Structure 1
Amino acid sequence: MNDMTRKFPKITPEGLDSLRERIGVKIENTVEPWCYEATRDNIRHYAHGIGDDNPLWCDPEYAKTTKYGDVIALPSFLFSTSRIISGYVGGLPGVHAMWSGSDWHWMKPVTRNTELRTVAYLKDLVEHDTRFAGRAVQQIYHVDFYDAKTGDQLAEADSWCFRTDRDEAREKGTKYTEAKAKGVRKYSQEELDEYYKLYEAETVRGAEKRYWDDVQVGDALPDMLKGPMTVTGFIAYAQGWGGLYIRANKIAWQLQQKHPSAGIKNRFGIPDCPERVHWEEEFALEVGAPGAYDYGPERASWLTHHVTNWMGDDGFLQKAKCQVRRHNPEGDIIVIKGEVVRKFEEGGKYLVEIAQQAHQQDDELSAMGSCIVELPKR
């Protein structure tokens, strides 16, 4: 590739050296989060953004009947309280960032109207060779989440983005060669109706306790459907989660003045945010993706939704890990499967481990994960 065909900045040794100097350094003056507080509306908007209608998060009248006495935040809501955990990366200006996974540990439930405070730092950089874009850098952040008023720690998490060369991904990447060759797939109503049976069958365990005593290794969780993927769905998630760079008018201009690489010119010659890979097909193709695609934190939130439906109001999601394996472009349909793989006691708590996999309509692996759930014992 010569300089005439290059459109975007690339990963350089100097850029990596500069970024390594930030490892372990607390990030000061982090970008303002989408949500400072776990209000009723903020919780509901996030839940609806992932297609989750669990009344424990969404219905105060129902929630009054639970041990919490009010709505609580779904575990993945915390994505909306930190741009860092959601993929707002520093360094390597103009180099594409793809959110690719997270590893969460929750200590306490987030109750209604809790005000959140976060502490974040760059944890590590790991170089990889990928099919998507050749050389890539895995940029790992750590974030601690606190109740701003009491100081109690509520959760901690690592998340990581892969920084990739947009031009290399577009011109030489092989990960999506076959998918692009297939072209646009159009579904029949009969095919869609078959998938929609999973929506019809989806149940929330709710008030019916799931006891640790009754769970066995090998038990399967009900399959969960997500999709079909549409730009409307991606935007619905952004409404609840807030996105990373979505700004309007003067505030967009201010962001671009501070971070010029956050304003990539569109077909009108106007600087616009890199996040438009999620709704602008043309730009998504320019960075090597198979089309406009879903958000990474959205994918992680689907996996935790799968488990919270299963565990019921009296379960507590203690840990969850998600690894994103491919983009989910418009038109994809995702089915999430899970299985209990371990049952154990630890520190006086009764726990089960669940392994999860999400595949798209052609049976390609979209994401994989695992969870640790605390359940009541008889």
Structure 2
Amino acid sequence: MSETTDERTKEEFEQATSAELNDADIDKDRAIVGRDWASRSQEFLGTATPEAIRNFANGYGDDNPLFTDPEYGRGTRWGGQIAPPIMAAILNAPLHGERPSKQERGGSYRGIHAFVSGGTWDWYRPIRPGDTLYSFGGLESVEVKRSEFAGRSVVKVNREVKMNGNAEVVGVYRTLVIYTERKKARERGKYKNIEEPNYTDEDLAKIDEIYAAEKPRGREPRYYEDIKIGEALPPMVKGPLTTTDMVVFHAGGYGFVPYGLKTGRLAYQNRQRIAPFYIKNDYGVPDVAQRVHWDSAWAQAIGNPRAYDYGVLRECWAHHYLTDWAGDDAWVVAQHDEIRKFNYQGDTQFLSGEVTAKDGRDGRDGRCLVDIAFKATNQRGEDTMKGTATVAVPSREQGPALLPEVPADLQRKAIEMMARHGELLREGRQ
């Protein structure tokens, strides 16, 4: 690379990483809090085929036959294969509805880096092969905070209601997203001195020992009466993290919509659509800003020592942990997680958890709910994720685990949204 080209690339790099949080963007967001819109996004996957369900589960390391083997599913309470409930996060077909005006679209935050810092799920019914999912929702809250990592930051909670083609609510997903200025994060360099992992054969053998002992609960019911408050969940391990993990997660169906990963002519078209999302790399070639998840040089440019995982991937790991423990007959009712620290390439996450409460009624109302606290701890002994979950389990006395009821107002809104979708299709309008 010539000196002239090198200097030009550095100048463009500085411009691309020097965007500042804009009060106008924040004001636009505050004006639309609480509004619901139909999601017009076409995710990488819209319909849960048997293969899509299997590949998604495999994409975060889950080999539970309930999710991966249609024949196995026929012998369970579900009567067939179902998807891990968290698959609702990556399924979406366009839902036709009223479009927000330019003033109602919220802030664009161009050139500002976004981190998924946690999420909360409520699940109501399973996703089955052939289900196409649609969604609606909007911005639930927005606030400005001071961040140790990058100074001033904007914290947003987005809400998505996921429903199937029958307008039945499958789940509600709330994501916590933090917007930070890339340049300030780089200048502060809070994480720049984190030591690089270095594994001995003995270290790897200990990790492999955990992998070898892991298995899903499967068809053996985990009865409510047998669960004790304070009992520990078996350990699970994820890692050491590699670029391959990122590739496999994307191959399993994670599309990062509305930005997305494109190649060739499609990448060119995407660049025209969202030019600020493309930042030139060391060769002067525009590439996606999300390459922080596999390109350590770009991750360093925004203040991190190495490439790191997606928060959504760690949410899937937590879900894998819960469904492995719960077994085929149970249902994860809710999951809340907080991403506390980055999970860098080379890091290993050790998942642990315990039962913190039962529903207090000994299952007499038929609900049989169990509360779980879980966390992920890296090889440096740092807790990188903490969370809680509620699981409905079967009871010897009360029978099968019951699915939660969808709140009436939420179900009514879903029916209204789907009815409007059908009306617009009949009119030939989109």
Q: TM-score range by the shorter chain?
A: over 0.9
Aligned match of 2:187: 171
Q: Which AA in structure 2 matches 1:360?
A: N
Of the structure 1 ranges 128-137 and 23-32, higher mean CA displacement relative to structure 2 is found in: 23-32
Aligned pair 1:131/2:143, yes or no? no
What corresponds to 2:386 in structure 1?
Answer: 368
Identity level (%): 33
- Is 2:219 aligned against 1:207? yes
User: Corresponding residue for 1:254?
Assistant: 269
> What is the match of residue 353 of structure 1?
371
Q: State the partner residue of 1:51.
A: 61
Is residue 8 of structure 1 aligned with residue 18 of structure 2?
yes
Structure-2 residue corresponding to 1:101: 118
Could you tell me which amino acid in structure 2 is paired with residue 158 of structure 1?
R
Match of 2:349 among 334, 338, 345: 334
- Corresponding letter in the other structure for 1:31: S
Aligned match of 1:236 = 248
Q: What is the rounded CA distance, in whole Å, between the counterparts of 1:151 and 1:338 in structure 2?
A: 35
CA contact (8 A) 2:26 2:107 kept: no
Relative to structure 1, the CA distance from residue 351 to residue 361 in structure 2 (aligned partners, 3 Å threshold; closer, same or farther) is same
Name the one with the larger strand percent: 1
Displacement after TM superposition at 1:4 (Å): 11
How far is 1:154 from its partner? 0.9
1:275 paired residue number: 290
- SS in structure 2 at match of 1:112: coil
1:270 positional shift? 2.2
In the TM superposition, 1:261-340 aligns within 5 A as: 261-340=276-355
2:70 pairs with 1:60? yes
* Letter of the 1:198 counterpart: I
Residue deviations 1:128-170 (CA, integer Å, cap 9, x gap): 222211111112100001111x111111111121100101111
Comparing 301-310 with 21-30, greater Cα deviation is found at: 21-30
Tell me the distance in 2 between the aligned counterparts of 1:342 and 1:120: 32
8 Å CA contact 1:221, 1:310 repeated in 2:
yes
Amino acid at match of 2:199: Y
* Matching of residues 218-229 of structure 1 within 5 Å: 218-229=230-241
Do 1:19 and 1:92's aligned partners in 2 also have CA atoms closer than 8 Å? no
2:203 to 191, 194, 205: 191
Q: CA deviation at 1:83?
A: 10
Deviations 1:218-263 (A, max 9, x none): 0110011000110111111111132312111222222221222111
What do residues 26-82 of structure 1 show as CA deviations (whole Å, max 9, x unaligned)?
A: 345533212111111111111111100000000112111112221100011112115
CA contact (8 A) 2:19 2:111 kept: yes
Question: Which secondary structure state, in structure 1, belongs to the residue aligned with residue 368 of structure 2?
Answer: strand
Whether the 8 Å CA contact 1:210–1:375 is kept in 2: the answer is yes
Give the SS at the match of 1:225.
Answer: strand
- Cα deviation per residue 1:195-227 (whole Å; 9 max; x = unaligned)? 111101002110000000100100110011000
Deviates more, 1:5-14 or 1:65-74: 5-14
Q: How does 1:2-151 map to 2 (within 5 A)?
A: 7-28=17-38, 30-82=40-92, 91-148=108-165, 150-151=166-167
* SS at 1:246 equivalent: coil
Q: Which stretch of structure 1 is more off in the superposition, 296-305 or 340-349?
A: 340-349
Is contact 1:80-1:240 (8 Å) kept?
no
SS at match of 1:307: helix
| 1:255–1:262 CA contact under 8 A, matched in 2 | no
TM-score in terms of structure 1 length = 0.93
Indicate conservation of the 8 Å contact 1:263/1:274, yes or no.
yes
Question: When the two structures are superposed, what TM-score results if normalisation uses the length of structure 2?
Answer: 0.82
> What SS does the aligned partner of 1:222 have?
coil
Instruction: Give the Cα–Cα distance (whole angstroms) in 2 for the partners of residues 374 and 74 of structure 1.
Output: 15
CA contact (8 A) 1:357 1:369 kept: yes
Matched residue, 2:171: 155
Instruction: For structure 1, list consecutive stretches of 5 or more residues without a partner in the other structure.
Output: none
3-state SS, counterpart of residue 48 of structure 2: coil
Counterpart amino acid of 1:55?
P
Q: By how many angstroms is 1:5 displaced?
A: 5.7
Provide the secondary structure at the position in 2 that maps to 1:21. Answer: helix
1:359 aligns to what SS in structure 2? strand
Distance change (3 Å), C-alpha of 1:362 and 1:83: farther
Unaligned runs of at least 5 residues, structure 2: 1-11, 95-105, 397-430
The amino acid of 2:115's aligned partner reads M
Q: Which runs of 4+ in 1 moved over 6 A?
A: none
